[in-house]
Every structure is written in C-alpha cells, then in structure tokens.
Chains A and B, each alone.
Chain A
Amino acid sequence: MNFLLCKFIELLKNFNIPDSIGILLFLPLPFFVIISFLIITVIFLVLFERKLLGYFTQRKGPNRVGVWGILQTTADAIKLLCKENIELLSADKFLFTLSPLVAFSAIIILWCIIPYNSEFNMINSSVGILIYLIVSSFPMLFHFLAGYSSNNKYSIIGSYRALALTASYSVPVIFIILSIVCITRTMNLNKIVLFQTSYWLIFSNFLGFIIFYISSIAKLNRCPFDLSEAESELVCGYHTEYSGMRFAMFFLGEYAELFVMCMLISILFFGGYLPPFGIYLSNILSGNCSLCRYLIYFEQTFWLIFKTLIIIFSIIWVRATLPRLTQKKVLELFWKYLTPLSIVNLIIIILMRI
C-alpha cells in the first residue's frame, strides 16, 4: 500500500497538490476499487454458475441476451433493482430492513482483508486471519435475524437450521486455520502467502485442505449443505419474505461470499498471488523495462483470481453432482468425522513442528 501511496502523491505533485490532501484523497480509493471489482465479479460469477450448470446438465445455459448471454445477469440486476419492495405488516420492520444491509456490508469487509497482490492489501493486519474468522460469522448471524424478523414459519425453520450448521462447521474451520498458523507461525495473510514461495501449504496439510474445503462449502450455504434454504421443504429458507433489492442483497452477497471464501482457500493452501512455478511471466515477456514492476502486480492478481476461479469451478461441480443431505447426516458428518479428524490433523502438525 505504501508504494501505491507514494506513486499517488507523486502524481498529485505534478498538479501542485500538497501531500496532506493527497493522503486524505488516497484513503477511500482502494475501497472504491474493491467495490467496483466486487460488483463486476459477482454479476459475472452468477452468469458463470448458470452457464456451467447448463453445461453440466447438457444444456446451453443463457445465450439470448448479448453475445453468448453475457448480459443476462445485467438484465437480472436491472430487474431486481426496480422490483417492488414488499413491506410486511407482520414483520419486525427495523431488523427486516437492517439484516440484508449488514450481511452484505460484512462481506465487503471480508473483501478488504484479502491481499490481492504484494502491494494492494487494504487491511494489512497482523491478525488478518482472525479478523476474517470474526467478520465472516456476521452474514450467518444476520441471516438468522432476517428469518426471525420476517415472522414466517418457513423462514424461522431455515434460520434455526442455519444456526445448527454454523455451530457444526465452525469448529473444524478454526482447527484447520490453527494448524496453518502453526505451520507458518503468523496470522498475517500476506506473510502466509509469502511463506509458500518454496512449496504450497496443500502439500504439507492435505487432510486439512479436504476438511476446510468441505466446511467452506457448508459455510457458503451451498449444495449439498444448503439445508437452510432447502427449496423442496422450506419455501426459500430465511429469505422467503424478501423481495426486490433486499433479496438481491442476499443473493449477490452469497456469491460475493463464495468468491472471497475461494480466495481465502487459494491464499491458505495454493499460494495466493504467487505464480505456480515461482516464475513471473511478466519478467520474461517484458524484460527489465520500467513497466515491468507494475505488470507484476497485475500478474499476481491474475494468478489469485485464476486459482480462485478453479476452486469455484470445483464447488459448482459439487453442486451439480451431489443431492442435498438431510440435517441429521450433515451434523453427523461434521461432529463425528470432520471435527475429530481436524483435531488429529492439528496434533500431527504440532508434533511435526516441534
């Protein structure tokens, strides 16, 4: 971030603007970059999933709006923006309007924690991974409040299921993250990435990766763990009563969370923004010119997003393949198998590090 700040102030000096104003102007800039990136990503992620689900079931997917249907989700967004917002008489108005907003803004904070390349890391904290764990529990909490406040029997059943699921998946997630902290001896996400320059953490913590992957699918509330919005049993789960823009906030928030969770997986296990074989392509292509230094940042971001998209592809593949589990089976899987396994994994890693 410091390097970018210096460049920005140098740029402003050409227009005779003092440093203090430059620093003030720089503060909101990364936030706007992240927000615009988030919105574009989420809109195309929904399309990516619909297209992929189409191909997995031997269909074509959306292909009428724009070339290859690339404007499909834009049309969806315009429609959802202008749809009627239904105010319920029986609902708790304050919580009903508040919960989609907070659930979405918590996910924006998650996006700010991620290191996109070695310079662009908005919240570069020494306990980054702890902040991620704490903030990522916010959406689930407000999903529960959404179900509670809409005063509908299906919503409240969905919310209770979501809470039961939260209690079961968070234990293995915390143990796996502890094991990673044991290996890298740091909680800073940037340092965790830089630790993996010689080898990716998936090679030293493979069992942990499997458990973390399964738990993160549950955390994202996706098939086969989408108990809280099971369409065939509960109408829509916690967002049954939500319409228009408020529903869109939940819907888009889910996809934003999917992307940021997959970024976290690629940071923890696949070396984040580091290139796969330790060689930067931009170094080879452009030689040692002055532009090279900037190109490397773009390449790092490219590798992060590339790895993320591969993980998202696998998660969509899982969704297209597996049927939904019953609540009993999910709780059994997490409490009987994954939690003990993750504890064993942690103990093995601690013994190896001693």
Chain B
Amino acid sequence: MNIIISTIDTILNWGRANSIWPLTFATSCCGIEMMCASASNFDIARFGSEVFRPSPRQADLLICAGTITHKMAPVLLRLYEQMPEPKYVIAMGACTCGGGMFSGKDAYPVVNGVDKIIPVDIYLPMCPPRPEALFDAILKLQKEIKKESILTRKEFLATHELFLKEENGILIRKDYDELY
C-alpha cells in the first residue's frame, strides 16, 4: 500500500511542483516586481509558471503581492476559497508577512500579516522583494510540494479548514471581528 501511495505521490508531486500557475493578483508595489519577474530580464517562464491565470478557478498559486487592507481582506479570502485544491500561497513583501511599514496600531486600515486571513506556505519579506527573491520563493515552494503526500494534504486541509460566514453578500471569517 505504501509503495502505491509513494509512487502516486512522486508522479503527482512532480507534476504539481513543475507547473505552478499563479493567479493574476497584485494589490500594490510588489505587483510591479511580479510583472518584472515575467519580463525578459528575469523570465519566470523558465520554471513553468508564466501561465498567469486571470480566473482563480484555474490557478494553483496565490502570490499575495502587496498590502492587504481590511477592505480587501474579504476579497482575498474569497479568491482563496475560489481556487481549486491543491492551492498554495506565497506572502510576497513585508506588508503581507507581518505588516511591514504599516505594522502596529497606527496604520488602522492595514491587515498585519496575510496569514490572519489565509494559510501561507512561503513567506517572502523585503520591501519590495526583487524578482530573484520571488524565484527563490517559487523554488522553495517546489521543494515543499515535492515533500508532501496525498495523505498529509488531507490533514492540512482539515487543520486549515476555514469557518466562513456571509455578511452583506461577502464571505468573511467567523472570527473576523475578534481578530480586528
């Protein structure tokens, strides 16, 4: 049984790790670096991730590039929920890792760390990170994907299952009010 699972895992993980299609989602200046990463000097296509899908239904990776405000938070959560399994998240830039220059209570409209809303696989601090750093994050994500198994993926889903509620037609977390 273990042999079967491990062979399936190697094939599946090889496929998943080598074709990470990101979602076209950029909220501020890190988005410029993300666009730069797909242009000619850096070329994200070498790793097979140049297929930026506009629809979350076809994307595997959410590169959260830029500051997330409280107004944007439900939208981000909704986009994450719309993505089909298996899905991964890279928190790009200092703002999404822990607030960055907006950390603390002075900057009231900014979510301090995107991991309060969605589960994050790779943190990529810097303000903003250079395209090379984004490639490094993608390569690290590929390593992480190659390590995982179908069974652990299920456990991950169970532990990270989000409890959502609908407020004014927008999906948000149930503990949203307690968090903020």
Interface residues of chain A, those whose CB is within 8 Å of chain B, are 50, 54, 57-65, 69, 71-72, 74-79, 82-86, 231, 235-236, 239-244, 247
Contact = CB atoms under 8 A, between A and B. Distances in A.
B55 A235 contact: yes
Contact of A50 (B12, B15, B45, B86): B45
B78 interface: no
Q: Which 4 A-B pairs have the closest CB atoms?
A: A78-B15, A84-B84, A75-B18, A236-B55
B138 to A, nearest CB: 11
Interface string B1-34: 0000000000110111111000010000000000
Given A60-B46, A86-B84, A79 B15 contact: yes
A243 B57 contact: yes
Interface string B89-119: 0000000000000000000000000000000
B48 A241 contact: no
Contacts of A76: 15, 19, 48, 51
B15 A60 contact: no
B40 A57 contact: yes
Contact of B53 (A58, A62, A75, A236): A236
Contact of B58 (A60, A78, A236): A236
B48 A62 contact: yes
Contacts of B43: 54, 59-61
Given A54-B45, A58-B40, A231-B24, A64 B18 contact: yes
B163 to A, nearest CB: 19
B84 A79 contact: no
15 contacts: A50-B50, A57-B39, A62-B48, A72-B48, A75-B14, A76-B15, A78-B12, A79-B15, A82-B15, A82-B16, A85-B84, A236-B53, A241-B55, A244-B84, A247-B57
Interface residues of B, number: 28
A111 to B, nearest CB: 25
Contacts of A72: 18-19, 48
Given A61-B46, A75-B18, 7 more contacts: A60-B43, A64-B46, A65-B48, A69-B46, A79-B19, A83-B86, A236-B53
Contacts of A64: 18, 46-48
B85 interface: yes
Contacts of A79: 15-16, 19, 60
A144 to B, nearest CB: 18
A10 B9 CA distance: 46
Contacts of A57: 39-40
Contact of B46 (A62, A83, A86): A62
Most buried by B among A57, A59, A64, A235: A59
A57 B14 CA distance: 28
Interface string B65-101: 0000000000000000010111000000000000000
A107 to B, nearest CB: 20
B48 A75 contact: yes
B58 A242 contact: yes
Contacts of A63: 46
B8 to A, nearest CB: 9
Contacts of A242: 57-58
Contacts of A231: 24, 54
